[in-house]
Every structure is written in structure tokens, then in C-alpha cells.
Amino acid sequence: MVLCALVEEPAMWRAGVDLYGDSEIAESFRHGDRVGRLDLQRMMGTPDDPARTDVYRRGSPVYRAEVIEAPLLILHGRKDKRVVPLMTEKMVEALEIEGKIHEVHWYDEEGHGWERRENRRDAFARILRFLKTHVLDEPVREEDAASG
């Protein structure tokens, strides 16, 4: 949702935080787990249906990374089977090509969400630092930098 908001209304946002988000939903349909595929199919049909191809492309922010104006923090688990890591890798590549301000952090042992307390704490600390920097324009204090 965050990625879509950043490409649909780029001037509205000071920053974005994407938690294991989907950047290319047709690819996610092909690579994600069965539950995710069924959910997408229920909401949108299949990407192989020629009548749905444009809908899937319009809903895939990776194709419009050039319009993103806000700095973006992306957090994703390497073991995510719902929204596979390839989705974040594609988005990061698009952001780099377009020269957009972004940070990405991977949680090697996590899936779609954070199970481990230390990873939840780390994610919240990263989000807080990122938003303080890019929304409140506050410098990051040493103790904040050390906690994440």
C-alpha cells in the first residue's frame, strides 16, 4: 500500500516505510505462496488473463519508481514466501536506477512479518530514526544510531 501511495500521490508524502511490500504483483502471483495467489485471484483475477494485464501493471509500483519523491525505507524478510524477496530486490533496483533516496534492510531469518522480538525492536528503531530524519528533520542522536 505504501509503494502504491508513493507513486499515486507523490507530492503528498514526506517519507514512506514499506514493510515487506509488493512492487510487482503479477510476479508476486507467480512466485508467492498459494494463499497469496488465491487472494490476488479473488481480488483481481489472474495476470495471465489478457483483460487483467493492465490492471496488474497499474497496481505494480516498480514500473513508476521515477515519480516517487519521498525518501523510502524498505524492510523485508529473506524467508518471505507471501511477498518473495525478489519484489523488494526489483523495487530497490528501480529506485537506484532513478536515483531515489532509499534505505533497505533485510531480516535473514524472517518471513512475512517479524516473529523475533529483537527484529521487531530493530525494525521499530529503524522506522523511528528514518521518520525523525526525513519527516521531522531531526538529526539522529548517537544513542539512536547505536540502538539499531
pLDDT at 53: 87
Q: Which residue has the higher pLDDT, 122 or 147?
A: 122
pLDDT (mean) for 105-133: 96
Highest mean pLDDT among 12-16, 57-61, 140-144: 12-16
pTM of the entire predicted model: 0.87
In this prediction, residue 36 has a pLDDT band, given cuts at 50, 70 and 90, of: confident
pLDDT at 141 over 90: no
DSSP-assigned states of every residue in 75-115:
EEETT-SSS-HHHHHHHHHHHHHHT--EEEEEETT--SS--
pLDDT at 15 over 70: yes
pLDDT at 32: 85
DSSP bridge pairs for 18? 74
Q: Is the Cβ–Cβ distance between 130 and 15 less than 8 Å?
A: yes
Q: How many CB atoms lie within 10 A of CB 108?
A: 8
The second-level CATH assignment, the architecture, of 2-146 is 3-Layer(aba) Sandwich (3.40)
Q: What are phi and psi of 38, to 5 degrees?
A: -65, -40
Q: Which residue has the higher pLDDT, 76 or 57?
A: 76
pLDDT at 4: 95
**Cell digits of residue 40:** 490476488
Cα–Cα distance measured from residue 45 to residue 89, given in angstroms and rounded to the nearest whole number: 25
20 φ/ψ sector (left φ>0, alpha ψ -120 to 50, else beta): left
Cα–Cα distance measured from residue 119 to residue 122, given in angstroms and rounded to the nearest whole number: 5
